[in-house]
Amino acid sequence: MDRNWLVNGCLVVSLMLIGVSCTSTRPKPAAGVRSDFIYQVGMLKPVDSQLNVKQGDPAPDFSLPTLSGSPISLRDYRGRKHVVLSFVPAAWTPVCSDQWPGYNIAESLFRKHDAVLLGITVDNIPTLHSWTKEMGKLWFPVLSDFHPHGDVARTYGVLRSDGTSERALFVIGKDGLIRYIDVHDINKRPDLETLGRELEKLD
Amino acid sequence: MRRFLEIAWLLPILACGCAYVGGSNDANRRVALAELAILPFETPGAKQHADYLQVSATEPTFALADLDAKLLFIQVFDSCCPHCQRAISSINQLYSQIETRGLQERAKVIGVGVGNTAFVLDLFRDRYAVPFPLFPDASMAKRDALGVRGVPRMIVLRQSDRGLELVKICRSIGNSASFLDDILEHVGM
């Protein structure tokens, strides 16, 4: 009887230790966007819109609400700052949830080239609030192109047929002219180095 | 069944062993580590980083097997991943802990930027004041050799007469001092 008790006790302790050893190697929840919060969209058509502007054109003006509450107009920066518009397709989707945090390491790059970054999606403010809170602190303004839906994206020609926007970058000089356009494959993250080289050309 | 019960006392010991160096696929892991040991890493352009690793600045590449350090702490990350951005401060602290304890000759910290170019890693290094060498892995060849899928991951390797040995893989190191204590105790340093 005593022997059985001892053996069974050993078994219980063993199973507990095995459990501890297995669970300790599993990923723990971490700061940032939790992977199970991300909606998996699968592979999408790389580009699904037709540009309405080209390099050298005056950038169409717009005014959009921001997360901070005050609206931002493109004309506010005319003659003062170069502007980079970063359209991303939608909140809570895979590539976007890395692309914008990626700009967290590039703040000095923008400052060095006297440029500002404006992040734009077609999502509404409450959605952007939750998403960016989960993403962590972003140093640049986030603008909502929600109502009228995707109006700015449509004006620039980067509104996709499903109502999301392209993953697109527009570099606009202080003179208000479009210097660079990258309507990127929606499934891939644009390379920061390429954007850095375009910012250098503005100096 | 009776025979199994009679040897049940062995299981706690096995479980403790598995907690550090997962027991399965040992043969595959040994092969992977042998390949990793000779994988070319670009010699750091910055002199202080080449000096830190004690690799020749005149050679374009080096291998992990060339390093004199007994312990290697490899942080695998993507500079654009918010989890990785938040994790880097504890890795910086780990580097400081190693220096403070005078272990910098025997324990080295490096970073591998998965999908990242040297340009992006320079931005990351500046933004988070990373003191240790970072290696670009735009092709993800290093990530594949290291055998990890997600980021961030901390991989701790030990150099021994038998080559590189895996000590630990984890997503987060938590408290850097306690983490270092555990590793040092485990490897007997």
**CB–CB of B8 and A7 under 8 A?**
yes
pLDDT of B172 strictly over 60: yes
Residue B98 · residue B173 · CB < 8 Å:
no
Residue A67 neighbours by CB distance under 10 Å: 17
Q: Is B154 or A10 the better-scoring residue by pLDDT?
A: B154
pTM of the model: 0.79
- Partners of A165 in the β-ladder: A159
Look at residue B18 and tell me whether its pLDDT is greater than 90. Answer: no
The per-residue pLDDT for A116 is 98
Chain A residues with CB inside 8 Å of B5's CB? 4, 7-8, 11
Sequential DSSP letters for A76-104: GGTTT-EEEEEE-S-TT-TTHHHHHHHGG
Sole residue written with tokens 């950038």 = A59
Residues of B in contact with A97 (CB under 8 A): 82
A12 lies within 8 A of chain B by CB: no
* A191 vs A85, residue with greater confidence: A85
Q: Average pLDDT in the A76-95 region?
A: 94
pLDDT at A93 exceeding the cut of 90: no
Q: What is the pLDDT of residues B123-132, one digit of tens each?
A: 999 999 999 9
Q: In this structure, how many other beta carbons lie within 10 angstroms of the beta carbon of residue A175?
A: 11
- Cβ-Cβ contacts under 8 Å between A and B: the total is 102
Question: How does pLDDT run across A27-85, given as a tens digit for each residue?
Answer: 333 335 677 778 787 888 999 999 999 999 999 999 999 998 899 999 999 999 999 99
pLDDT number for residue A197: 94
pLDDT at residue B132 in the model: 98
What value of ipTM does the predicted structure carry? 0.73
The C-alpha atoms of residue B108 and residue B62 are separated, in whole angstroms, by 14
pLDDT tens digit sequence for B108-118 = 999 999 999 99
Q: What is the pLDDT of residue A182?
A: 98
Sheet containing A142-144: order of strands: A142-144, A115-121, A82-87, A167-172, A178-184
3-state secondary structure chain B: CHHHHHCCCHHHHHHHHHHHCCCCCHHHHHHHHHHHHCCCEECCCCHHHHHHHCCCCCCCEECHHHCCCCEEEEEEECCCCHHHHHHHHHHHHHHHHHHHCCCCCCEEEEEEEECCCHHHHHHHHHHHCCCCCEEEECCCHHHHHHCCCCCCEEEEEEEECCEEEEEEEECCCCCHHHHHHHHHHHHCC
- DSSP β-bridge partners for residue A142: A119
Q: Do A17 and B12 touch (CB under 8 A)?
A: yes
pLDDT given for residue A39 in this prediction:
78
Instruction: Give the closest of B5, B19, B79 to A105, CB-based.
Output: B79
In this complex, do A192 and B119 lie within 8 Å of one another by their Cβ atoms? yes
Helix (H) or strand (E) holding A106: none
> Pick from B79, B83, B86: which is nearest to A102 by CB?
B79
Contact B119 A102 (CB under 8 A): no
How far off is chain B from A132, nearest CA to CA, in Å?
11
Amino acid at B165: E
Upstream peptide bond of A148 is cis (omega within 30 degrees of 0):
yes
Q: Which residues from B are below 8 Å from A104, CB to CB?
A: 82, 85, 127
Residue B60: per-residue pLDDT:
95
Of A92-96, A182-186, B112-116, B122-126, where does mean pLDDT reach its minimum? Answer: A92-96
For residue A99, which residues of chain B lie inside 8 Å, CB to CB? 80
Q: Return the pLDDT at A37.
A: 79
Q: Is residue A161 within a helix (H) or strand (E), and if so which, with residue range?
A: none
* Superfamily the domain B17-187 falls into: Glutaredoxin (3.40.30.10)
pLDDT in tens, A131-176: 998 888 899 999 999 999 999 999 999 999 999 999 999 999 999 9
Distance (Å, whole) CA B110 – CA B66: 14
pLDDT, residue B16, reads 42
**A38 close to B (CB below 8 A):** no
pLDDT at B34 over 90: no
**In chain B, domain spans:** 17-187
Question: What do you get for the CA distance between the two ends of chain A, in Å?
Answer: 86
Average pLDDT of the residues in B136-140: 92
Q: Say whether B79 sits in a helix, a strand or coil.
A: coil
> Is A96 one of the annotated active-site residues of the chain?
yes
Q: Does A18 touch chain B (CB under 8 A)?
A: yes
Predicted confidence band of residue B2 (pLDDT cuts 50, 70, 90): low
Give residue A203's pLDDT. Answer: 84
> Would you give the end-to-end CA distance of chain B in angstroms?
42
| Mean pLDDT on A96-110 | 88
Residue pair B22/A25 in contact by the 8 Å Cβ criterion: yes
